[in-house]
Structure 1
Amino acid sequence: MPILVTGAAGFIGSHVCLKLLARGDEVVGVDNLNDYYDPMLKKARLASLLGQRGFSFLEVDIADPMTLAGALSGQKITQVVHLAAQAGVRHSLENPRAYIRSNISGHLEILEFCRSCPGFEHLVYASSSSVYGGNQKVPFSEDDRVDNPVSLYAATKKSDELMSYTYAHLFGLPQTGLRFFTVYGPLGRPDMAYWIFTKAMLEGRPIRVFNNGEMWRDFTYIDDAVEAVVAVLDKPPLADVPPSRLYNVGNNQPARLGDFIDILEKLLAVKANRQSEPMQPGDVVHTFADMTLLERDFGFKPRTSLEVGLGKFVDWYRSTWMARTGAL
């Protein structure tokens, strides 16, 4: 049976597709290839998938009602990894309707599609560490209250969790939500700090450092995140009533932003021109994943340190992306 992966041209989605194909699974990838960031990057990710044995691709907007069901007519889908979403905390302040359409309407369409599939086995979907908002207790646990989001992006992801729980309760639809903590690595997102800082530092431009660098992030390397997705996919919460679970996917080792920049300076052999700025609306000071549940249920432990992961990103950026784009 083919596995459906939404957001297949996205950062996490493309890597999940590669992992599933490598172990012999058949994968149907869908993506709307929007221009939130440079489409060249999405095309580069997709190029690594097209032509691989067992992979097929459909350019589909999952938020269009019934479009997905029509595009996949005749496919016997019993497992879905739903990673398509409008990402970015700060962008949600400027374009809120895109988040409601993609993250809420799109999630609803995925739920309805899964409910319509005979013998459906498991939906794994992306949530976010953003749902923890400004919680002061660290590390963040799946049992913590998440009723006070500080960005619309976070509110949409919390809404997805609520909708999924409801469908599990009403229809017995097995689901697992994954709260990702700042996933980074090669072929990542150019709107994230590690990419923005690397590009600016190599070009000799200043970087914007919020809250004097006194912010902490639980950076999760892409290979670790993908390992968690695949492990969870293979083990639906069938014994739970309703069959719905949530897990943190993080590194369990938050790094201070100032120290993060120090690491980049060493890797790039470039001194950063740090431009201090206040906290931005929708941002939080800490993210810190309690990984107890994922380790208990799947034996999962993140393996990639920030120094190693950033080193792999910098190597890729210099050897591949700069050559492809002609960037400095």
Structure 2
Amino acid sequence: MSHPLPAPLAPGHALVTGGAGFIGSHLVDGLLGDGWQVTVIDNFDPYYPASIKRRHIAAHLDHPAYRLVEADIRDGAKLNSLLNGTYTSIVHLAAKAGVRNSLTDPLGYQMTNVIGTQNLLSLAHQRGIKAFVFGSSSSVYGDCPRLPWAESDLGLLPINPYASSKLADEQLGYVYAQTFGLRFVALRFFTVFGERQRPDLAIHKFARLMLDGKTIPVYGDGSSERDFTYWGDIVAGVRAAMAFAADPACANYEVFNLGNNRTIGLLEMIHKLEAVLNVKANIDWQDWQPGEMRRTWADIRKSQALLGYEPATDFDTGLARFASWLAVQP
């Protein structure tokens, strides 16, 4: 079945939360390059060194169309006082990240991810900003037995606080779409990787440990699988979602999977990492971690039909690019 794609989106003024992070900084690169005005909110959370994010945005700081606002999305009053522009789109990527850490700090994740999202939705409603794109997560599917996972799957039961907070955010977006006419698009990202990847994520973490001759921790029996998706495909999906959310002809509320529609086993990923780094991995086998999903796999047919989303970078190509980037990092 064919569907009309959203109308092309002319450059406007985007408010990007988490715009100094992995996905956000790549998105900002493209927006600035295409003539957008961009305001970024980031609090440089110490989850990993702020110096990494500072490097991501170093080239942005002198751009005349760029503004950085250092603020915490939990502080609604501060957001309202500092964000005084006229914004055509909000792309909300800021979040407290990391599945395992959410098990030890569930309240912190609830406060940042849910209260923070509520503050952004309130701001959008008060300012009359109709287009709202939200960075959700494949983790909302929990251990859903139906594979591949589709947006039409109902009765989702997340298995960690991080995922629970993301699902709650999607539901908040539905309230604002139905009650206040916001056009809210939730994007469920599937295991994003590539240059600028967070240092705590498996590919980046394993690569540095392997290059340093240290063991890598592998939980369970190594049989877990992930739908690894290159950042460039994710950013393309975000840009398409921005056009969708800005088009009055499109639905007020939609959820889309952004994945690669192919799974890679954990041991296969490690072997491929060994090849691009030209080092041998020494595995430290550990017990399976609670809250971890055994497999993720995206059904992307809806994203293809309504967003024109087509992942263009396969895992091997993306991994090679990541290795080349890592080789020149501090």
Question: Normalised by the size of structure 1, how large is the TM-score?
Answer: 0.94
2:23 corresponds in structure 1 to: 12
C-alpha displacement at 1:146, in angstroms? 4.5
CA offsets, 1:97-141, max 9 Å, x none?
2211110000000000000113x2300011100000011111000
CA contact (8 A) 1:132 1:145 kept: no
Describe the SS at the equivalent of 2:279: coil
Runs of 4+ in structure 1 displaced over 3 angstroms?
237-241
CA contact (8 A) 2:142 2:157 kept: yes
1:206 corresponds in structure 2 to: 215
Distance 1:309 1:211 in 2: 26
CA contact (8 A) 1:78 1:117 kept: no
CA offsets, 1:26-77, max 9 Å, x none?
101110111011111111112132112311111011111222111012x111
CA contact (8 A) 2:220 2:286 kept: yes
1:33 corresponds in structure 2 to: 44
1:49 corresponds in structure 2 to: 60
Per mean C-alpha deviation after superposition, the further-off stretch among 47-56 and 253-262 is 47-56
Q: How does 1:1-328 map to 2 (within 5 A)?
A: 1-73=12-84, 75-118=85-128, 120-236=129-245, 238-239=248-249, 243-319=252-328, 321=329, 324=330
CA contact (8 A) 2:191 2:229 kept: yes
CA contact (8 A) 1:131 1:146 kept: no
Per mean C-alpha deviation after superposition, the further-off stretch among 57-66 and 254-263 is 57-66
Q: Which sections of structure 2, spanning at least 5 residues, go unmatched? A: 1-11
Instruction: Flag the structure with more relative contact order, 1 or 2, with Cα contacts below 8 A and sequence separation at least 6.
Output: 2
Q: Which sections of structure 1, spanning at least 5 residues, go unmatched? A: none
CA contact (8 A) 1:3 1:27 kept: yes
Describe the SS at the equivalent of 1:17: helix
C-alpha displacement at 1:239, in angstroms? 4.1
2:3 corresponds in structure 1 to: none
Question: Normalised by the size of structure 2, how large is the TM-score?
Answer: 0.94
Distance 1:188 1:271 in 2: 21
CA contact (8 A) 1:133 1:146 kept: no
Distance 2:76 2:237 in 1: 30
Distance 2:155 2:117 in 1: 19
In angstroms, what is the RMSD of aligned CA positions? 1.2
